[in-house]
Amino acid sequence: MEIRINSLGARGDGIAESGEGTVYVPDALPGELVRVGKTLRRGDGQRAVVRDVVEASPDRISPACGHFGTCGGCAAQHMDAGLYAAWKRDLVRNSLARAGVDAEVLTTVSVLPSTRRRVRLGFRQIRDSVIAGFREAGSDRIVDLAECPVATSRVVGVLSALRCFLPRFANHGEVAVTETDNGLDVVVFAKGEPDLDLRMDAPAFCDEAGICRLSWSDGDSLPEPILVAGEPLVRFGDVAVSMPPDSFLQPTAPGEAALRDFVIDAVADSTAVADLYAGCGAFALPVAAAGKTVHAVEAVAAQCAAVQAAGDHWGVTVETRDLVRQPLRPSELIRFDAVVLDPPRAGAGPQVEQLSAAGVPLVVYVSCNPATFARDARVLADAEYAIGPVQPFDQFLWSHHIELAAVFRVRQS
């Protein structure tokens, strides 16, 4: 069947209309005539795979990676820079429009390739070999990565060594690799506790592979360090933090620096700042180092301990608290003249409700999900907050993920 692609969807699929309704076609671009195979039901439409591009778009380019089209890590390597930038920006614009939020969307700040410092990959032993990589889009099948133009060279380079050692844990599972300032931090997620022989062999393996810490989790428990050759350190501005295993970290160092600069600039005229969903202190610590009084709130106890250890010198106070179940109330928020939010993909719904009632003068919202950001922005707008320009940040190159940040100020009556 031949169909004409009309537009791009939120996941980078080409969208077409046929006699059977809407058809979503990965790896197809607007204006293209493509020949597709059998369609499969997907939500409110059909999904089809391109068999042949009959009429190609002038916006089509050659992918940067030989795995593109199979690996689910990237969705947009076939788009030229102009189309790609417009698509990413529209992801933000469209989410805001659906929520009825009127805001200027600035040009996207994008990182370069080969800068992603953390990945989580699947692995599986198949007879005498081990495959490791991202999964195919919409599938549990693992694409065995021979290259990855998104990740850093150190992250990609350790995969060969990991393929040799991962079967010592289990014949399948997942592995998280994070590049820190002083080595690679690796967590293996697999059923079955590591045996004594594995633990005895870990030092030599880690030394050769450049791994400063190797940890294990069965997927339900907190990661257990098997070998610590050196505490993995990450520097947030001028403040070094010892990172707990599998803790949250922005995917790229340049992207994190851009977000940090945005936050520090936004709170420049503030005195007392609450950093909510603080993680390991990527914002709280540099803001404190800039001379502000900072209170950091985070649900994960190990991450709170990391912030406390690094922030004592700067007078940072830390609170372990689940802001979904127990958001800060207006009576607790009144002492702050600025609040920084960096919630997970679900957004900050319960906390935003409390913020809107408290009337904190300044709210800096950093988000990894345009849809939940727009939902929460609508709540703040209804509570007489004015939204400033929205700044997108593209740290997940060639994927459908986009981060953004904006400043909300209470309207003066």
pLDDT at position 38? 77
User: Distance between CA 84 and CA 113 in Å, rounded?
Assistant: 14
Q: In which residue are the tokens 């592979």 written? A: 209
Beta bridge partners of 214: 186, 227
Q: Residue 18 has what pLDDT? A: 84
Q: 143 with 217, same domain?
A: yes
pTM equals: 0.95
Q: Got the DSSP string for 225-278?
A: EEEESS--EEEETTEEEEPPTT----SBHHHHHHHHHHHHHHTTT-SEEEEES-
What CATH number is given to the structural domain containing 142?
2.40.50.1070
- pLDDT at residue number 252: 98
Whether 347 and 380 have beta carbons less than 8 Å apart is answered as no
Q: Cα(391)–Cα(105) distance, rounded to whole angstroms?
A: 6
Task: Tell me, yes or no, whether 289 and 397 share the same domain.
Answer: yes
Residue 46 has what pLDDT? 87
Same domain, 328 and 383: yes
81 within domain boundaries:
no
Is 241 part of a structural domain of the chain? no
Q: Does residue 397 share a domain with residue 343?
A: yes
Boundary-marking domain end, from 197, 230, 263: 230
Residues 226 and 375 in one domain: no
Tell whether 215 and 358 lie within a shared domain: no
Domain end call among 230, 260, 295: 230
DSSP state of 42: E
The reply to whether 200 and 270 lie within a common domain is: no
Predicted confidence at residue 129, as pLDDT, reads: 93
Number of structural domains in the chain: 3
Q: Which domain holds residue 18?
A: 1-58
In a domain, 203, yes or no: yes
Is the Cβ–Cβ distance between 225 and 245 less than 8 Å? yes
Q: For residue 413, what pLDDT is reported?
A: 66
Q: What is the pLDDT along the chain (413 residues), one digit of tens a residue?
A: 899 999 999 999 999 998 778 999 999 999 999 999 877 777 778 889 899 999 999 999 999 999 999 999 999 999 999 999 999 999 999 999 999 999 999 999 999 999 999 999 999 999 989 999 999 988 899 999 999 999 999 999 999 999 999 999 999 999 999 999 999 999 999 998 899 999 999 999 999 999 999 999 999 999 999 999 999 999 999 999 999 999 999 999 999 999 999 999 999 999 999 999 999 999 999 999 999 999 999 999 999 999 999 999 999 999 999 999 999 999 999 999 999 999 999 999 999 999 999 999 999 999 999 999 999 999 999 999 999 999 999 999 999 999 999 999 999 86
Output the domain CATH number for residue 48. 2.40.50.140
Q: Read off the DSSP letter of residue 78.
A: T
Answer whether residue 235 is part of any domain: no
| Closest among 272, 180, 193 to 235, alpha carbons compared | 180
Q: Is residue 125 part of a domain?
A: yes
Which positions are catalytic?
368
Domain CATH number, residue 322: 3.40.50.150
Same domain, 263 and 373: yes
Residue 179 lies in a domain: yes
* Same domain flag for 43 and 98: no
Point out which residues pair with 362 in neighbouring strands: 409
Cα 204 to Cα 127, 155, 209, 223: the distances in Å are 25, 19, 9, 21
Q: In sequence order, what are the beta bridge partners of 183?
A: 180
> What pLDDT was estimated at residue 43?
72
Q: Which residue type is seen at 311?
A: G
Q: How far apart are CA 321 and CA 316, in angstroms?
A: 16
- 104 with 198, same domain: the answer is no
In a shared domain, residues 105 and 142? no
Do 156 and 225 fall within a single domain? yes
Name the domain boundary from 39, 58, 77: 58
pLDDT score, position 378: 98
Asked, for residue 49, whether it belongs to a domain, the answer is yes
Residue 68, in any domain of the structure: no
61 neighbors 78 (Cβ within 8 angstroms): yes
